[in-house]
Each structure stands twice: as structure tokens, then as C-alpha cells.
Amino acid sequence: MIINGVSIDATFAEAFPMKATRAIITAQNEKWAMISAQAMTGFATSVIACGCEGAIERVLDPSETPDGRPGVAVMFFAMGGKGLAKQLETRAGQCVLTSPTSALFAGIDGGIRIPLGKNLRYFGDGFQISKLISGKRYWRIPVMDGEFLAEATTGQVDGIGGGNFLVLAESQPQALLACEAAIEEMRKIPNVIMPFPGGVVRSGSKVGSKYKTLGASTNDAFCPTLKGATRSDLSPEIESVMEIVIDGLTKEDIDKAMRVGIQAVCDLGAENGIKRISAGNYGGKLGPFHFHLQEIMA
């Protein structure tokens, strides 16, 4: 399959079941909601070492938030429910509770309930106040700038992590430009996040390493400087490869995000140095979710 001179590999991205949740951060203005959201989703690029994968899903209009203030929706994905709950709580405690004027609300109504402000309330040292409004429990925690309002719980649901595609280009600036174009379109799709810095990862990994202590190491088959030194998957004109990883609530959400992302890359086309789109997989034996590039773009 070739779109605008870009070759789409007959391969697939392999993804795994994860546990997912969403929270809504509001603040006096969008600037401070965003600061709080950025802090909360910091160091959450990969479950390999961060404990969870998290990112800003989108900016919310005041009409969409529970307290009518500007807000930001953030999503987190982890391999298990326990780990997800722990990550959510510590991040909420250190990054949102501490952030001026912030309030924190559930972003998913259904699912298994996991603590959001439920345990943060103890920071109130006995001065915290509970309010049960329309069946939802909120905690009012006195803090130095006024009151921190946090919904007690949010929903944990099944999600999918590890959807991905690789952009193979003739130069590093061209690969980055294409990925930026893809991320801009993909951020318009609800229920997905791209957890790596700016949504793009330049250090895609393979499973295993020559070093016994490491579970993952550089994806040498896609490293352009190793074209002559390893069993490379790259043709001579490829000088840079970047990857976009997608976590989403459903397969359809990831399908949609991959489609718009790959399309944005292909729109730049071969004339802008984009040669191929590929994807990372483990032979289909590890992850139950397969995203076939050519099927998605058909």
C-alpha cells in the first residue's frame, strides 16, 4: 500500500490490555489547570519505569467541567488496577492538591471506583468536610489558598496500551515535522493519549537485552546508525525513525487515532522525505490487540 508516495508496511502494532482512568482538573484559569495537569502527567511516559502512562487528553471548556471553571482532562493507564490507583493518588496528592486554585473531579462515571480525593482528605487533619451532592461524594480540604475540592473517587475501566506506528524519514527534521503533524490531529480524538514527550518517542524499544538485568533495550533494527552493523529493517535512504505510541479506552478509539495520525504523515508525503510507515510488534504472540496498518488505512 502506498499513500502519497509513503509506503505502508503490511504489518501491525501489537497492544496489550491495561487499566485506565480519567480525572478532570479545574482551576481559576486555563493556565493553572494546565500547569497542574502537566505536573500530574509528568514522568508518565511508559510503564517500563514510570509506574503508569499518562498524558493530557484535552482542554475542557468551562461548560464541560463540574464547577464551571476552565479545566483539563488527564488520562492514566497501568498494567493493573492496584498500580493505577496508587499512581493516581500519589500524583493527585503531590501535583494537584499542591497546585494553586485547583479542584479535582472524576472523569469516568462508571467502572470500578478508585480513590481520587478519598484518602487525600486526611491532609485536612480533621478539618476536612464531606459533601454528598447528587450521589457523588466530594471532599473539601482546607488549604492555604482556600479550599481544595476533590471528588472522592473516579472510575477505572479496561483500556488498551501500546498502539503505535513508526515514521521512517529521510532526515531527523522531516521525521519530527511529520510526527508533530500527526500528534496535532490525534489530539482531536477523544479517549486516547500519546504518553511520550510531545506525543513522540525517538527511542523505541525491543523486548530483552544482552544485559540480563534489562527487560527492554534499543530497537536496533530501526536505528539508522546501525544499518551496517545489525540486522536492519531500514533501507539506505532512511536516516531517522520516530514512533508514536497510543493508549486508548477501546480498540476503535486507537484505530481512529492511528488513522488520522498516519493520514497526517502521509499528507506530507514522499516529497517531504517521508518514506515508510511501520509498526512495532512482538510477532503477535504477546498482545491480544493487533492494529494492522493497511486495514486501518484501507
Partner 1 sequence: MSALTLTLKNAPEQRIDMSALSCHLLKTLSITDIAALTLQSGKRKLRVDELFTIEGSDSQQLVIKNSHEKLDFIGKDLDGGSISVEGDAGAYLAMGMKAGDIKVSGNVGLYAACEMKKGYLEISGNAGDFLGAALPGNKMGMKGGTILVKGDVGQRAGDHMRRGNILIEGNAGDYCGSRMTAGTIAVMGQTGRYLGYAMRRGTLLLWNQPQLSASFNDCGAHTLAFLPILFASFRSLNTKFADVAQSFNRVQRYAGDMSEMGRGEVLVKL
Task: Confirm or reject binding of residue 63 to partner 1 (CB under 8 A).
Answer: no
Task: Confirm or reject binding of residue 66 to partner 1 (CB under 8 A).
Answer: yes
Cell of 24: 478532570
Query: Using the rule CB under 8 A, which residue among 134, 211, 229, 231 binds partner 1?
Result: 134
Task: Confirm or reject binding of residue 126 to partner 1 (CB under 8 A).
Answer: yes
The contact mask relative to partner 1 for 147-186 (x = CB under 8 A, - = no) is x-x-------------------------------------
Residue 207 burial by Cβ neighbours in a 10 Å radius (0-12, 13-18, 19+): exposed
Residue carrying the nine cell digits 536516516: 239
Q: How far is the CB of 132 from partner 1 (least distance, A)?
A: 6
Report the C-alpha gap between 17 and 6 in whole angstroms. Answer: 30
Phi first, then psi, for residue 91 (nearest 5°) are -65, -40
Task: Confirm or reject binding of residue 146 to partner 1 (CB under 8 A).
Answer: yes
Task: Confirm or reject binding of residue 71 to partner 1 (CB under 8 A).
Answer: no
Cell of 298: 484501507
Q: How far is CA 118 from the centre of its chain?
A: 25
Element (H, E) at 180: helix 172-186
Q: How far is the CB of 72 from partner 1 (least distance, A)?
A: 16
* Torsion sign, CA atoms 164, 169, 174, 178: negative
Give the residue among 79, 24, 81 at the shortest CA–CA distance from 46. Answer: 79
DSSP result, 229-267: TS-----TT--EEEEEEEEESSHHHHHHHHHHHHHHHHH
Element (H, E) at 130: strand 129-133
Residue type, position 196, single letter: F
Query: Using the rule CB under 8 A, which residue among 140, 187, 259, 276 binds partner 1?
Result: 140
Q: How far is the CB of 123 from partner 1 (least distance, A)?
A: 16
Task: Confirm or reject binding of residue 98 to partner 1 (CB under 8 A).
Answer: no
Tell me the window of 44-52, 62-70, 184-192, 220-228 that interacts with partner 1 (CB under 8 A): 62-70
Q: How far is the CB of 68 from partner 1 (least distance, A)?
A: 5
Task: Confirm or reject binding of residue 132 to partner 1 (CB under 8 A).
Answer: yes
Residue type, position 270, single letter: A
Task: Confirm or reject binding of residue 78 to partner 1 (CB under 8 A).
Answer: no
Query: Using the rule CB under 8 A, which residue among 42, 68, 190, 208 binds partner 1?
Result: 68
Task: Confirm or reject binding of residue 203 to partner 1 (CB under 8 A).
Answer: no
For partner 1, give the closer residue by CB, 132 or 229: 132
Task: Confirm or reject binding of residue 127 to partner 1 (CB under 8 A).
Answer: yes
Task: Confirm or reject binding of residue 129 to partner 1 (CB under 8 A).
Answer: yes
By three-state DSSP, how is residue 168 classified? strand
For partner 1, give the closer residue by CB, 148 or 165: 148
Report the C-alpha gap between 110 and 65 in whole angstroms. Answer: 17
Q: How far is the CB of 216 from partner 1 (least distance, A)?
A: 43
Residue type, position 230, single letter: T
By three-state DSSP, how is residue 294 classified? helix
Task: Confirm or reject binding of residue 131 to partner 1 (CB under 8 A).
Answer: yes
Tell me the window of 61-69, 73-81, 258-266, 281-289 that interacts with partner 1 (CB under 8 A): 61-69
Contacts with partner 1, residue ranges (CB under 8 A):
66-68, 103, 126-127, 129-134, 138, 140, 146-147, 149
